Copies of this chain bind each other. A is one copy, B any other.
């Protein structure tokens, strides 16, 4: 296979200058119709394709954006990326993805690498908590736009797109109360992360508003997996006065709990109601489908992409910063459907 054709090749062919070729190709008005056609003809003839790398070096815009997530094969993140790609591809951007594996040092390296790659922006769901966000300080202050999604860090003047986790927690708990549940337990995942704290807060506020007592022994902190959920359920069901419902910040943890409750022959939803968070695909496929709070991940991705575009388009004029909060949507299914 021969080398790729450049504008010089087509210039030589036509005995004109590369500059002229460039102008013709870019539909510069100051060019004769004749040469334009001639150039375009030979361009297709030689199968010329613009080298985006050279353009990027020249213009300082790579038309690449970096997307950084813990693991790309978690359905939530892959759906966000889907939204980002859907939105950005038509605008000529390419999406570079990188996984942190929830490792903070790796995240740091990835960010540096992406910046060296001259990405035009970075969309990230960070592994850092707000306590240690200062380690990213010098990166965020560079010229490249940062947009945080889902897992946000509070930097002044930095945009973010997050879910209204507080409202999600509140709605879920309120719904359980409306179903007649009086002793609602909560599965909490990571006290460090803002979004889990907010769901927890929503839970507490909903209890308070309804005059139900908040009982610390009804709150279990656990990892987001089935086994941990099973153990957590075991713990709360051993209490002198076991709960009659769970609002869980993790669908997987909740699944483990449901499995354990089934073994105890506890009837869901008749004697026990549960609501999860994330709306993982499996929740709707179970015989006793599980209510859960949907995070609209694709929408979140699209929104993050739009915020990025706004920011990049207004670069010269004003530095804009937006903090979008998307609504959480409670999806009621059989697991909490006493009334219907």
List chain A positions with a Cβ less than 8 A from chain B: 1, 49-54, 56-57, 62, 64, 71-75, 78-79, 81-82, 85-86, 89, 94-99, 112-118, 141-143, 255, 262, 281-282, 285-287, 298
Contact = CB atoms under 8 A, between A and B. Distances in A.
A99 B116 contact: no
Nearest to A142: B1
A13 to B, nearest CB: 20
Given A73-B82, A116-B52, A118-B52, A94 B96 contact: yes
Contacts of A72: 78, 81-82, 85
Nearest to A144: B1
A114 to B, nearest CB: 8
A71 B298 CA distance: 12
Given A50-B116, A94-B117, 16 more contacts: A53-B53, A53-B57, A57-B57, A64-B117, A72-B81, A72-B85, A73-B75, A81-B97, A82-B99, A85-B97, A94-B98, A95-B96, A97-B97, A262-B287, A281-B282, A282-B282
Number of copies: 2
Most B CB within 10 A of own CB, among A56, A62, A285, A298? A285
14 contacts: A53-B53, A64-B117, A71-B82, A72-B82, A74-B78, A82-B99, A85-B98, A89-B99, A94-B98, A94-B113, A94-B114, A255-B285, A262-B287, A286-B286
Nearest to A281: B282
A105 to B, nearest CB: 14
Nearest to A115: B49
Nearest to A66: B94
Nearest to A106: B89
A287 B259 CA distance: 9
A116 B73 contact: no
Contacts of A1: 141-143
A78 B89 contact: no
A255 B95 CA distance: 34
Closest A-B pairs by Cβ, 10 of them: A78-B78, A73-B82, A282-B282, A73-B78, A73-B79, A282-B285, A53-B118, A52-B117, A49-B116, A53-B57
A37 B49 CA distance: 43
A139 to B, nearest CB: 11
A319 to B, nearest CB: 11
B62 A85 contact: no
Contact of A89 (B75, B82, B98, B255): B98
Nearest to A89: B98
Most B CB within 10 A of own CB, among A51, A73, A112, A117? A73
